[in-house]
Amino acid sequence: MSVVNSEPAMTSFEDSILELRQHDQIARLNYGFSLNRRDLFKLLGGGLLVCCVVGKGWSQESGGGRHPEQDLPTAISGWLQIAEDGRITVFTGKAEMGQNIRTSLTQAVADELRVPVTSITLVMGDTALTPYDMGTFGSRTTPYMAPQLRRAGASAREALLALAAERLQSASTNLVVEDGKVTDRVSHKSLAYGELTRGQDLLKVINAEAALTPTTEWHQAGVDTAKIDGRAFVTGKHKYTSDLTRPGMLHGKILRASGFHAELASVDVSKAEAIAGVKAVHDGSFVGIVAPDERTAVQAIQAVQAKWSVPPQPSNANLFDHLRSHLDSDRPPAHIVGSVEKAFAQADKQFAQSYDVQFIAHTPLEPRAAVAEWQGEKVTVWTGTQRPFGVREELSQAFRIPLSNVRVIVPDTGSAYGGKHTGDAAIEAARLAKTAGKPVKLVWTRDEEFTWAYFRPAGMIDVKAGIQRDGSIMSWEFHNYNSGPAAIRTPYAIPNQHIEFHPADSPLREGSYRGLAATANFFAREVHMDELAHLVGIDPLQFRLLNLEDPRLRAVFEAAAKRFGWSRIKNSSSRGVGIAGGTEKGSYMATCVEIAVEADEIKIVRVVQAFECGAVVNPNGLENQVSGAIVQGLGGALFEAVKFENGKILNSRLAEYRVPRFSDTPQIEVEIVNRKDLPSAGAGETPLMGIAPAISNAIFAATGQRLRSLPLIPNGLKGVSAKKA
Amino acid sequence: MLTLMVNGAERKLEVPSDLPLLSALRDNLELTGTKYGCGEGQCGACTVLLDGHAVRSCRTPVSAAAGKKIVTIEGLERNGVLHPVQQAFLDQEAFQCGYCTSGMIVSAVALLTETPHPSDAQIVRRMDGNVCRCGTYPRIVAAIRQAASIGKGAGR
């Protein structure tokens, strides 16, 4: 039963809780280690035991609240330390994986402490050193962590000022904090930060009311700032998890099932163990080996003889039927305003359509990897994850040891895109290392990454709208099945709405992805908007503006259209333009696309995106994120899809799963709308959301073919024509 | 016993002859700048120079590299001075997570050695086997253009 929700708008906190629920519901690969209470877990697949961990109360971002397991530091020193030589070390549980927050967070602290970014070292994602953090996702670093670190920095500045006033015997009103020192304007005496703290911790409690530097007075933030440690990436010196070695380290491999939900019927490791230096680990449903080197490890795991029984299960062919017929009874309340039934019946025109999206794979170029090392009952794991504290918890549960016995360290990671929330590789490496009695490195192969990671959810979206001849939308009904509730609401001013998310039983392990379901919901909404515009014969941009009150969203639509030359470019059978936009996670985006039709091929010629996320922290870094998101979005829009059949992934090689390449990349122009008067929002996700609907709309403009399924043209236009005929 | 000439130095290795060059570099010689991305030769993260030509080290047996001049990402910087292509990648900030960067830079060096002043179309064609999942392709093209504009020596 739907529950009437008369709240005018969901608050961002409620949004984030909804989002957290999705993140936390990623099924965990939990093995039935004998140390586990097996009966707690339900058998899923690959001989793997899976337990759906449901969040225990929605713990907040570090700084925003308290976590039951670890109180957040209230003293400045928990977040920030100043050494005698003046070097500043800042601590955050966030992880860097290419989104460039190491740079943007450093800029924020540098601003508050009145020092250059080069004076600061940011320690990130180390559960032994950094304050608790829920995880790096949801575009939350900039709106939540940056202000938290700014508060620590501003409190430190106040503390330094007070110390200097005492030491210089001067009124604090005479003192200036500048360039790493406090100077008395009258006596011209000054003391550097290191001299003031003498390397002692600043134990003063963080002042929640400390005056943060207003955006108009930013000097380190707000300007182009080169990626910190950039040189280490162009010289190959940066050490990712997979580059680490430990003394005596062995290499591990895991026996993977022949299909999902498989049961291990029998296993024989004797041939593997006959190989010199190889040790097998068989614990519950977990079978793995360690070997002195990677090559021997591969040979050994191939020598393991196992029989699996794989139960019949859904495939691509019946995916959508399966989802529709396996809906969860428990679902979040619908968003209901007015009466869609009445308004729909009374509208001049009615229009209903369905849209769908396939599963896609994150395909981070650095596969999941972990290095685990035990000392007695304590374990340290280096791993590329977005949730170091979450992985610490997973390890603690898997091995039934206290959290304090687990340390997770996240080296700056070779990308994640929402795909590295879980601690799969960490647990596997730790289990191997426990038996081996030596450190173990485990690096997933590309095939494992494509098969045993989780996917962006597939789903269907039904949209039904009632519209007047003058273009005003009177009713809007929107049902998302399985793909997710992110950005499910419409930004358009529509008096009658019924918007609802219907979770379903997914045949594949699914979870977070850059932008979550917002990409699917934007796709359905913005293609439907285009269909409505054509139904009433109004220009698609004008039609959107006609139904749009939000001034920030209007502004990006207008900025994108102007830069693109929307009103000048005419559609023809060989050329089409499309537009799409929306708002999500506090940022605003509009995307214009020009496509060319050449024989049966569609070429994306040009993309212009206007993007607004409040006050811009690092303009060059932001352009990089926006442009990159457009390129990544091209994949899911045009050709990416996970093919699966009866418990097996059919395209688990990069040769079979097409990702965007140089030759797929159009001319991209990014129009940043910098609103220094508004707080900064995150920018890693929303820029990806407009590309798919804008392309679909452009293809319609040129060819008259309305494409409502993602990916749009996995086999070029030819496949589409055949499908429609 | 195999002898490899890596970044100008002779390195002796006791490894099977069909060991992928990538493993020899990363695990035996501790040159971890060269990355594993797919093991299929599809992503280019493992690219190294073999007698000046770009090869996929994940698909190259170590024996095929014996007697040839191997250059990895670690061999491009000289006396603390970045190779012009490295400098251009840094200037253009032509990366995000950086995992593809070594392979991109090495591939670009090979490209500029053979074609010192490539057109954009030539850059796209020659670099198309390298994947940047973060999608920084436009910046990488700009970086290669910048390195090419410095003229002689970019291919070095």
- Give pLDDT tens digits for A165-196: 999 999 989 999 999 999 999 999 999 999 99
Among all residues of chain A, which has the CA nearest to that of B97? A98
Residue A7 scores a pLDDT above 50: no
DSSP alpha helix (H) spans, A400-546:
424-436, 446-452, 518-536, 540-546
Reported pTM: 0.94
Between chains, do A627 and B23 touch, taking CB under 8 Å as contact? no
Per-residue pLDDT at A18: 61
Between chains, do A660 and B135 touch, taking CB under 8 Å as contact? yes
Name which of A230, A625, A654 is nearest B40 (Cβ-Cβ): A654
Residue A313 scores a pLDDT above 90: yes
Condensed to tens digits (0 to 9), the pLDDT of residues A603-624 reads 999 999 999 999 999 999 999 9
Beta bridge partners of A42: A50
- What is the distance of C-alpha A103 from the center of its chain? 18
Between chains, do A295 and B16 touch, taking CB under 8 Å as contact? yes
Work out the minimum CA distance from A243 to partner chain B, whole angstroms.
6
Higher pLDDT, A66 or A527: A527
Instruction: Compute the distance between CA of residue A299 and CA of residue A293 in angstroms, rounded to an integer.
Output: 10
Instruction: Compute the distance between CA of residue A66 and CA of residue A79 in angstroms, rounded to an integer.
Output: 15
Between chains, do A661 and B137 touch, taking CB under 8 Å as contact? yes
pLDDT band (50, 70, 90) for residue A490: very high
- Residues 6 or more apart whose Cβ sits within 8 Å of residue A329: none
Among all residues of chain B, which has the CA nearest to that of A234? B86
Per-residue pLDDT at A200: 83
Instruction: Compute the distance between CA of residue B141 and CA of residue A631 in angstroms, rounded to an integer.
Output: 14
Q: What average pLDDT score do residues A536-565 get? A: 98
Residue B155 scores a pLDDT above 60: no
DSSP alpha helix (H) spans, A213-362:
230-234, 270-273, 294-303, 319-325, 340-346
CB-side neighbour CA atoms (13 Å) of A453: 32
Between chains, do A245 and B30 touch, taking CB under 8 Å as contact? yes
Identify whether the C-beta of residue A536 lies closer than 8 Å to the C-beta of residue A351. no
Between chains, do A415 and B133 touch, taking CB under 8 Å as contact? yes
Identify whether the C-beta of residue A258 lies closer than 8 Å to the C-beta of residue A310. yes
The pairing of strands A335-337 and A349-357 is: unpaired
Per-residue pLDDT at B156: 53
Work out the minimum CA distance from A361 to partner chain B, whole angstroms.
11
Residue B43 scores a pLDDT above 70: yes
Radius of gyration of chain A, Cα coordinates, nearest whole angstrom = 27
Identify whether the C-beta of residue A282 lies closer than 8 Å to the C-beta of residue B10. no
Residue A35 scores a pLDDT above 90: no
Residue A575: count of CB within 10 angstroms of its CB: 16
Size of interface A-B (CB pairs under 8 A): 163
Per-residue pLDDT at A5: 34
Suggest the residue from A234, A456, A667, A670 to mutate for an interface test with chain B (most B CBs closer than 10 A): A234
Per-residue pLDDT at A322: 97
DSSP state of B83: P
Condensed to tens digits (0 to 9), the pLDDT of residues B27-38 reads 999 999 999 999
Between chains, do A624 and B136 touch, taking CB under 8 Å as contact? yes
Residue A62 scores a pLDDT above 50: no
Residue A250, both tokens: 């062995």
Sheet containing A473-481: order of strands: A335-337, A496-502, A473-481, A459-467, A349-357, A709-710
Between chains, do B36 and A100 touch, taking CB under 8 Å as contact? no
Work out the minimum CA distance from A674 to partner chain B, whole angstroms.
21
Residue A57 scores a pLDDT above 80: no
Residue A16 scores a pLDDT above 80: no
A24-47 core/surface letters (b: 16 or more CB in 10 A; e: else): bbbbbbbbbbeebeeeebeebbbb
Q: What average pLDDT score do residues A668-675 get? A: 98
Name which of A446, A627, A631 is nearest B40 (Cβ-Cβ): A446
Higher pLDDT, A138 or A322: A322
Identify whether the C-beta of residue B56 lies closer than 8 Å to the C-beta of residue B79. no
Higher pLDDT, A255 or A30: A255
Per-residue pLDDT at A33: 81
A634 contacts on B by Cβ (under 8 Å): 135
Between chains, do B133 and A363 touch, taking CB under 8 Å as contact? yes
Per-residue pLDDT at A331: 87
Work out the minimum CA distance from A259 to partner chain B, whole angstroms.
21
The pairing of strands A587-598 and A667-672 is: unpaired
Residue A192: count of CB within 10 angstroms of its CB: 16
Per-residue pLDDT at A49: 28
Residue A52 scores a pLDDT above 90: no
Residue A51 scores a pLDDT above 70: no
A621 contacts on B by Cβ (under 8 Å): 93
Work out the minimum CA distance from A479 to partner chain B, whole angstroms.
31
Per-residue pLDDT at A392: 97
Between chains, do A295 and B30 touch, taking CB under 8 Å as contact? no
Between the CA of residue A88 and those of A180, A262, A568, what are the distances in Å? 10, 52, 53
A413 contacts on B by Cβ (under 8 Å): 97
A419, A310, A367, A255: which is closest to A645 by C-alpha? A310
Suggest the residue from B134, B139, B145 to mutate for an interface test with chain A (most A CBs closer than 10 A): B134
Suggest the residue from A100, A104, A231, A233 to mutate for an interface test with chain B (most B CBs closer than 10 A): A233
DSSP state of B1: -
pLDDT band (50, 70, 90) for residue A45: very low
Identify whether the C-beta of residue A673 lies closer than 8 Å to the C-beta of residue A130. no
User: Across A621-690, where does the E strand assignment appear?
Assistant: 644-645, 648-649, 667-672
Q: Which of A38-42, A66-70, A107-111, B148-152 has the highest mean pLDDT?
A: A107-111
| % of chain A residues with pLDDT over 70 | 90
Condensed to tens digits (0 to 9), the pLDDT of residues A711-723 reads 999 988 876 754 4
Per-residue pLDDT at A11: 41
A224 contacts on B by Cβ (under 8 Å): none
If you write DSSP's letter for every residue of A54-111 in order, what string do you get? PPSS-PPPBTTB--SSSPPP-BGGGTEEE-TTS-EEEEES---SSS-HHHHHHHHHHH
Between chains, do B73 and A235 touch, taking CB under 8 Å as contact? yes
Condensed to tens digits (0 to 9), the pLDDT of residues A197-240 reads 987 888 888 988 889 999 999 999 999 999 999 999 999 999 99
Between the CA of residue A496 and those of A341, A444, A466, A478, A595, what are the distances in Å? 9, 49, 9, 11, 35
DSSP alpha helix (H) spans, A304-423:
319-325, 340-346, 388-399
